[in-house]
Structure 1
Amino acid sequence: MRKPLLSLIAVAALAGAWAAPALTRAAEEKKTKEVGQYVDLQPVALPIVVDGRLVNYVFVYVRVNLKASADIIKLRDKEPMFRDALVRDGHKTPFVLPNDWQKLDDARLIAAMTRDANAIAPGAVASVTITQQSPQKRVMPPRPAPPDMP
């Protein structure tokens, strides 16, 4: 009776020794992936307008990353202001890519949103990122222009 009990204790000790490094690795990974302060905007549908014609909408998810010293509660209450600025920019000058009507021009959108976010929350914005883009419908890419004939 003692042998099965001792072997069961040995197996339990080995399992604990094997699991301990895995737990410490998970804790270390969690520490390295510390999440900073941010404001996630509700999804916004931005138009794709080509030659004055509405071709598609792209739903964009934007995150405004904040500095560590920012007042997160106060700035999360300003989320509608961030979203409104994004909608105004997207309709004033659509962020259209000339070769793809299912995505937005990331660089132009981020530049415009960073400018607006800094105006809304001066000194609190670290960066702006686009977390996701989803087109309303699948649209064929534009055809290349035919070559000019002499």
Structure 2
Amino acid sequence: MIRFGLAIAFALLAGPALAAPKKEGKSDVGQYVDLQPIGLPIVADRRVVNYVFVNIRINLTDGANAAKLREMEPFFRDALVRAGHRSPFTLPSDLGKIDAARLTATLTKDANRIAGPGQIRSVVVTSQAPQRRMSTPRA
């Protein structure tokens, strides 16, 4: 009788664990595209004085095809490198950082052109690291 009671108790405890669905395979980790780190030039007095390496995440809308857009990562990087060399994202007050607001505005526009309308939610600069530390320029 005690064995029967223990068997029922274990069955009741194990029931929810057995009924829980198992996640098989790799689940989608999110609707975004992470760009490989990119070195952007910092220009002062028409000379390249530093490089800042940035990590960027492009957040996608819920209806976007994340797998297809992740394959387009080199096109997003190319657009950013071209924009950064055409008009550097130099922050005049600090030669060790980039102007993140200008970068995100520019890349958002270019990413929407590359991916198509309604695919891009936002662009975020996740980190920036200067090649070398520099003092703030004098006014």
Residue identity in the other structure for 2:76:
F
Kindly provide the CA deviation profile for residues 89-116 of structure 1, in whole angstroms up to 9, marking residues without a partner as x: 0000001111100000011000000000
What one-letter code is carried by the residue in structure 2 that aligns with 1:84?
D
Residue in 2 that maps onto 1:125 = 120
Q: Distance in 1 between matches of 2:93 and 2:63?
A: 41
**Structure 1 CA distance for aligned equivalents of residues 92 and 65 of structure 2:** 39
The match for 2:109 is: 115
Taking the aligned partners of 2:68 and 2:94, their CA distance within structure 1 comes to 38
Are the counterparts in 2 of residues 60 and 133 from structure 1 also a CA contact under 8 Å? yes
Counterpart in 1 of 2:136? 141
The counterpart of 1:38, out of the listed 4, 23, 32, is 32
Higher helix share: 1
Q: How does 1:61-80 map to 2 (within 5 A)?
A: 61-80=55-74
SS at match of 1:91: helix
**TM-score computed with the length of structure 1 as normaliser:** 0.72
Instruction: Tell me how far apart the structure 1 counterparts of residues 53 and 86 of structure 2 sit (CA, whole Å).
Output: 17
| Secondary structure of 1:126 counterpart | strand
Unaligned runs of 5+ in 2: 1-28
State yes or no: 1:99 paired with 2:102.
no
Task: Give the superposition deviation at 1:40.
Answer: 0.1
- Separation in 2 of the partners of 1:101 and 1:41? 23
Which letter does structure 2 place at the counterpart of 1:136? Q
- 1:64/1:125 contact within 8 Å kept: yes
Unaligned regions of 5+ residues in structure 1, if any?
1-34, 145-150
Alignment RMSD:
0.9
- Which residue in the other structure is 2:10 paired with? none
Total equivalences in the alignment: 110
Scaled by the length of structure 2, the TM-score of the pair is: 0.77
SS across alignment from 2:122? strand
